[in-house]
Amino acid sequence: MAATPSPGDDLARLRLARTEGIGPATFRRLLARHGSARAALEALPGHAARSGRSLTPYPAAQAEREMAALTMLGGRFLFLGSPLYPPLLSLLEDAPPALAVLGNPALLASRQIGLVGARSASAAGRRMAEQLARDLAGAGLAITSGLARGIDAAAHEGALAAPGPTIAVVAGGLDEPYPPENAPLQARIVAEGGAVVAEAPLGTAPLARHFPRRNRIVAGLVLGVVVVEAAPKSGSLITARLALEAGREVFAVPGNPLDPRARGGNDLIRQGAHLTETAEDVLQFLPEAPRDLPLFAPRNTPETQPEPRAEAPSPPGEPSKVLELIGTTPVAVDDLVRRCQLSAPSVQAILLDLELSGLVETLPGNRVARSLS
């Protein structure tokens, strides 16, 4: 059983999550290596020296102000590895280290279906989304979407009309409702037993680069995603792709071939998505868990890891030896260990420093590749 982090642990986790240069995958690797966020923060100067990169821990005072501001707003943080953190979301390689939540955090562990689509949706598309959400919520599922205009808003409205629970994942801070006209809907979701979730800090205005990160959270929370109207290369199709990569089911409502908003959904059906016209079309294919994964089995977290061993410095020249074996084509870490003839802990330590230096990136499936940035 994982231990409940103390308030001090929460502060350390927020500081580590907010430290510039520490992304979700690196956050997980640091915790796995050092056993706690406090220990990882203390180890950052050593990692910085070895990687040749500045890694300044996020100031404790700023993290404390953010935690206090969220409490004043009526919300709370959920940290990766804590008991209330959404178990399905924790399965993602790049699960958010910290989630800010307004409303009912326990709802994030419920069985959810994502319902997404075009912002400039047709009247028929909005009616379809609202009806599907109402029926699926009535069947006991929580409806998860992105609080955007069009299909997202219709999905939340349909769930509330059931009445049933709904979860909104927003791209900016919880205090920056977007679009502004959906601020009353956000407040209603919280007031009626739902939840609003954000990865971004309070005060963050949603920018274009934030939406793909929001989409991965939607895909990670749910057992499946239903797409209602989506143009090619739209954010809704990104959500569907991320859901598929995470082992989740993908559903699509067919549309008029003459309507550009239908092309994305129709393409998904051609590629194998479940054709969806009613809630029953979803319910008959919705699994109890993601494919190839046991029900709600989270990844190992630091509380369930053995005590970390003291970190030994890498032998001179070994980091460059490992780096030479890594190209732009992803390679499994296990293959690296065999090829470089170093111990697995030594390779993991070297990879962490190379990742922090920006030379390599960690990919799903315990693989690494040279960074192209």
Domains, the chain, in order of start with CATH, read: 7-86 (no CATH), 110-283 (3.40.50.450), 314-370 (1.10.10.10)
What is the CA angle 126-128-134, rounded to 5? 100
CA distance 228 to 165: 20
User: Token pair of 111, please?
Assistant: 């069985």
Specify the pLDDT at position 172. Answer: 96
N- to C-terminal Cα distance for the chain? 40
List of the chain residues with pLDDT < 70 = 1-8, 292-317, 364-365, 373
CA distance 18 to 27: 10
Specify the pLDDT at position 314. Answer: 46
Interior/surface letters 117-129, b for 16+ CB within 10 angstroms, e for the rest: bbbebbeebbebb
Interval 66-79: pLDDT, tens: 999 999 999 999 99
Q: Are 224 and 249 in contact (CB under 8 A)?
A: yes
Specify the pLDDT at position 3. Answer: 42
CA distance 369 to 332: 9
Specify the pLDDT at position 364. Answer: 62
Interior/surface letters 270-306, b for 16+ CB within 10 angstroms, e for the rest: eeebbebeebebbeeebeebbeeeeeeebeebbbeee
Specify the pLDDT at position 6. Answer: 55
Q: pTM for this one? A: 0.85
Specify the pLDDT at position 294. Answer: 55
How many C-beta atoms surround the C-beta of residue 53 within 10 A?
Answer: 14
β-sheet with 367-370: strand ranges across = 331-332, 367-370, 360-363
